Amino acid sequence: MSDGLVVLGASYAGVQIAVSARESGYEGPIAILGDEAELPYQRPPLSKGYLSGKVDDATLPLRSAGFYEEYRIKLHLGTAATAVDRRGRAVVLADGTEHRFDRLAFATGSRARTLSLPGADLDGVYTLRSLADARQLLAAMRTAERAVVVGGGYIGLEVASTLVTAGCQVTVLEASDRLLSRAAAPPLAAFVTEAHRSRGVEVVTGVQATRLLGEAGRVTSVESTDHVSRPANLVLVAAGAIPNGELAVASGLACDQTAIIVDACGRTNEPEVLAAGDCAATRQGAAVLRLESIQNATDQGRAAGKAVAGRAEEHPVVPWFWSDQYELKLQMAGLVAGYDRHVIRGRTDSGRFGIYYFRAGRLIAVDTVNKPGEHLTARKLVASPAGITPEAAADESVNLRSFLKAAQPAS
Amino acid sequence: MPEVTYVATDGSERKVEVPQGRSVMHGAIQNGVRGIEAECGGVLSCATCHVYVDPEWVDRLDPPSEDEEDMLSNTAAERRPGSRLSCQIEVTDDLNGLRVQIPETQS
């Protein structure tokens, strides 16, 4: 009997690999190994609705326990993997058990970057990746009066919006010269910065935390390169994520630092090993592209699952992402890097608009604010070879969908 | 507990008890009803929980919001009169017996 597919990691990418392998006709045993005890769960709400009380534990599981049984997917949860023996085709867990495999998939995700600063290990200093993290943060929020968020990316800003809405005084410290420096272009970042400032968040850019001070083991203030000491009884470190590719590196797979290099079908440089999600990256010419998003975890996971079933196929996708802050639904379609022109569709002061980014006249990305329907159209426009001109995109009297019909008569 | 019937494209039916206050999408996801992807988890971001509500039930639901309306024009499967995003249908006792059909594709 075959040893089957072993998936390391029990979140979006891991579950999707297993489900897609099964749905694509893979008949061997499938096991998902995860270090957290909970059934695989949704992560986006952890920095959004879970902290504001709109989302509770019962709605978090990605699938019910019965679903995995129906799909003949075995879950081994609550124990971390400690080694991968590729030659011996086995994964070793922290409790000493071994799981043998024919095919192995890494879906090990990423972990929060921590600060290597004096005081970073004080109580009251948090990071946010897992449900356990979110529960701790939620408990701390009940008594938080002054918070410092280190890092002005999406997770930091989502938590900042919840904290300030709950009546906490909030400072966001961002080391680069603007918010969302890795994740969004300046036009959207400027709008988001203003949204936070107008609601009372102190946004400080170009400044790094240097030291965390505490009393009796609990954080009391944060010092930074602007020579200011800000009182804080809650500190969230939201300074990016590191891919969990160490076991892959140790097992000899091709990696870029700790990101596992895969092709468009989720295959690594070893035929029996796949990878998907936050821990995986693709080569784009000389550059390496790694995306941290549900969409990427799902699409890469789907591709890898199909490859397991012998149905590898390249399927071009438009990356997309969303963030909820205050009453703002921010949605990003496409990759904005390298744009040379942008136009605004609608009025930014209305709180409902789109930003269209072009490179050499071609639409490459669209950010929308409180326009979920337009976001869906934008994803198709970015994928469409016919595209749209900047002039048409900026003209609200122009029906965007008419460009899709012209470009895709068959669909 | 209110019962919702999900009808697959091959006509097969799946009856699921959905707690009051949860969405039709939640009932599908937690019970492994195939064909509802719900990629964004129910926050009006992806339109992959599209369903066709049976004609006799359409008017008994609260009408779609403007945002849902806009998204329904962008679903992967064709829009029909009963098209809704199942994350936006909150289950109540009044909806006991609700029937929804699952479209051929969500993405």
CB A331 within 8 A of CB A367: yes
- B26-40 pLDDT tens trace: 999 988 898 999 999
pLDDT of residue A386: 85
ipTM over 0.85: yes
Q: Each residue of A66-78: pLDDT tens digit?
A: 999 999 999 999 9
- Asked whether A108 and A279 are in contact (CB, 8 A), the reply is yes
Tell me the torsion sign for CA atoms A349, A350, A352, A354: negative
| Residue corresponding to tokens 């999408």 | B25
Residue A363 CB neighbour total at 10 angstroms: 26
| Residues 6 or more apart whose Cβ sits within 8 Å of residue B93 | B2, B20
- CB-based contacts of A35, cutoff 8 Å, min separation 6: A78, A79, A80, A81
- Distance in angstroms (rounded) separating the CA atoms of residues A17 and A306: 8
Give yes or no for residue B104 having a pLDDT over 50: yes
pLDDT tens for A8-61 read 999 999 999 999 999 999 999 999 999 999 999 999 999 999 999 999 998 999
Is B40 within 8 Å of A294 when comparing Cβ atoms? yes
d(CA A340, CA A360): 7
Candidates B23, B66, B74, B90: best to mutate against A (most CBs of A within 10 A) is B74
DSSP sequence for A68-94: HHHTTEEEEES--EEEEETTTTEEEET
What are the residue boundaries of the structural domains of chain A, listed by start? 5-111+242-308, 114-239, 327-407
Type and span of the H or E element at A214: strand A209-215
Q: Do B44 and A324 touch (CB under 8 A)?
A: no
* Domain A114-239 in CATH 3.20.10.10: no
pLDDT tier for residue A193 given thresholds of 50, 70 and 90? very high
How far from A169 is each of A2, A228, A236, CA to CA, in Å?
57, 16, 13
Domain layout of chain B by residue ranges: 3-101
Q: Does the fold of domain A114-239 match that of domain A5-111+242-308?
A: yes
Domain spanning A5-111+242-308: which CATH class is it, in words?
A: alpha beta
Between A61, A329, A376, which is nearest B74 by CB? A376
Could you say which architecture CATH assigns to the domain B3-101?
A: Roll (3.10)
Which tens digit of pLDDT belongs to each residue from A236-253? 999 999 999 999 999 999
Whether chain B has a CB inside 8 Å of the CB on A351: the answer is no
Residues of B with CB under 8 A from a CB of A: 22, 26, 29-32, 39-45, 47, 67, 69-71, 73-74
pLDDT of residue A273: 97
The pLDDT score that the predictor gives to residue A406 is 58
Q: If pLDDT is split at 50, 70 and 90, which confidence band does A411 have? A: very low
Q: Where are the alpha helices (DSSP H) in A179-293?
A: 186-198, 246-250
CATH number for the domain formed by residue range(s) A327-407: 3.30.390.30
Is the Cβ pair B41, A329 closer than 8 Å? no
With 60 as the cut, is the pLDDT of residue A408 above it?
Answer: no
Put simply, whether A322 touches B (Cβ < 8 Å) is yes
What secondary structure letter does DSSP report for A348? G
Between CA A409 and CA A43 the distance in angstroms is 38
A210 near A197, Cβ under 8 Å?
A: no
